[in-house]
Amino acid sequence: MYRYDEFDARFVAERVAQFRSQVARRLSGELNEDQFKPLRLMNGLYLQLHAYMLRIAVPYGTLDARQLRMLAHIARTYDKGYGHFTTRQNIQFNWPRLVDVPDILADLATVEMHAIQTSGNCIRNVTADHFAGAAADEIEDPRPIAEIVRQWSSLHPEFSFLPRKFKIAVSGAAHDRAALKFHDLAVEIVKIGAGETGYRVLVGGGMGRTPYIGYVVGEFVAKQDILACGYEDGTVLMVRLNDGAEILLRRPGSSPTTALAWNAKGTLLALSDEEGDAGIFPL
Amino acid sequence: MAQMLTANRLKDGAVLYWRGENWVEALAEGDVFAAQPEADAALAQAQASVAGNDVVSPYLFDVRDGKPVKEREIIRAQGPSVREDLGKQAEPSTSPLWGGRKSEGFSGGGKAGAHAPHPKNAPHFSTSPQGGGQESEPDVSI
């Protein structure tokens, strides 16, 4: 399971402080509802029939005991003793008071949780098989891909103001427990015969008012085999993901690598370093 | 059709109903407006509590014999249909007059309470929009 680094922790703490200030300004009248609504929706806070509703992200449905205990604490302290786990593996509290929400978000931040991107027209929390890592019919654990998607889509400026919400699911098992075909984009880990694993890619599905079943755009997409990585000491490596084999492109000892880029076909790798050296390697 | 005026309280989101010049929590205690002009007047008057940051997005909804016509308003008045132990239906002081959604034979006047609705329920056909101001998504649970 992913653990926050210092930047994640600082960002989430800053967001909590911002929202605390926004709530205070709303209550004092400095912000009116039209101004405040987009701000609260960015933090997963809806105003529904009976009360406010706070939707908290549970990335690909994975919680540790510490986080589960914190959710229970929030349910007892600020809500009516329960929460509602959603189809897409988030959790909603249905009776929070607006005045308490900054404290709830602060409590969540202590266990590396938040309510960012749980509402609004952005890329929502990634869904995976809830038996991921423990399913007998699993080809591969879907959570590494789900985590890569989560990192890429979190606060991505190009995907924060979409015309519609956008949902992604990943599954690594023969039996679909992630409702792949009802997602805008879905990745299914599949195996050809007894050998190679790759991805079946589906697009266009959706739930809601007009449910739509997604269709397959790639029956078998081979894994991107090779990853290039550059280091501070100037080392540049290519790593084959299937078996972990490494190829050294540049020895350690030169200045820090500043950029790496593949051409579209994945046949050429360009690199540069801090002293202005650059080069192109054919694969 | 007769109408009532509702909103959500800003600080905690609670469902409120307009009575006199203020808000109450129980639908049974709210004013029922038989005619459009008095409904519109109440809605206009309620804008002060929007400006005062007490409530969010007040609107009028249709009632017949003191009971909301739309399911949405029945749910707002009572509480969640899947948790009858929660919400206004679980609190005697705010539970609605018509006796809850289990009640079959609704007789029109409701049971006697401290705050009976206005008797003037003359039919009036309103074209004012119902609901609104709710950002719940179509598939809100996911």
Q: Where are the domains of chain A?
A: 6-109, 127-222, 226-282
| B12 → closest Cβ in A28, A46, A98 | A98
Size of the A and B interface in Cβ pairs below 8 Å:
77
Residue A209 to residue B79, Cβ atoms within 8 A: no
With CA atoms as reference, the chain A residue closest to B72 would be: A49
Residue B14 to residue A51, Cβ atoms within 8 A: yes
Burial status of residue B100 (CB atoms within 10 A of its CB: 0-12, 13-18, 19 or more): middle
| B57 → closest Cβ in A28, A33, A97 | A33
Closest CA to A44 of A130, A113, A111, A138: A113
66-105 of B, contacting A, C-beta below 8 A: 72, 75-76, 79-80, 86-87
CATH T-level assignment (fold) for domain A6-109 = Sulfite Reductase Hemoprotein; domain 2 (3.90.480)
| CA dist., res. A96 & res. A206, Å (int) | 29
Own/partner pairs for A208-212, CB < 8 Å, 24+ apart? A208/B137, A208/B138, A208/B139, A209/B138, A209/B139, A211/A182, A212/A182
> Candidates 3.30.460.20, 3.40.50.10950, 3.30.413.10, 3.30.70.1230; correct CATH number of A127-222?
3.30.413.10
pTM of the predicted model, to two decimals? 0.77
| B76 → closest Cβ in A26, A29, A49 | A49
Domain spans of chain B, in order of start: 2-90
Q: At what angle do helices A6-28 and A33-41 cross, to 10 degrees?
A: 160
Residue B142 to residue A33, Cβ atoms within 8 A: no
| CA dist., res. B62 & res. B128, Å (int) | 9
Q: Which residues of chain A have pLDDT under 70?
A: 224
What pLDDT was estimated at residue A238?
87
Å from A180 to nearest chain B CA? 14
Q: Where are the alpha helices (DSSP H) in chain B?
A: 36-51, 71-78
Structure tokens at A61: 């449905």
Residue B53 to residue A88, Cβ atoms within 8 A: no
Assess: ipTM above 0.90. Answer: no
| CA dist., res. A155 & res. A166, Å (int) | 13
CA dihedral over A92, A153, A206, B138, signed as positive or negative? positive
Q: Tell me the C-alpha to C-alpha distance, in Å, between residue A16 and each of A31, A101, A116.
A: 17, 9, 10
Let me know: does B54 contact B60? Beta carbons within 8 Å: no
| A29 → closest Cβ in B13, B53, B86 | B53
**Per-residue exposure over B32-64, b if at least 16 CB sit within 10 Å of its own CB, e if not:** bbbebebbbebbeebeebbeebbbbbbbbbbbe
Q: Which residues of chain B have pLDDT under 70?
A: 96-142
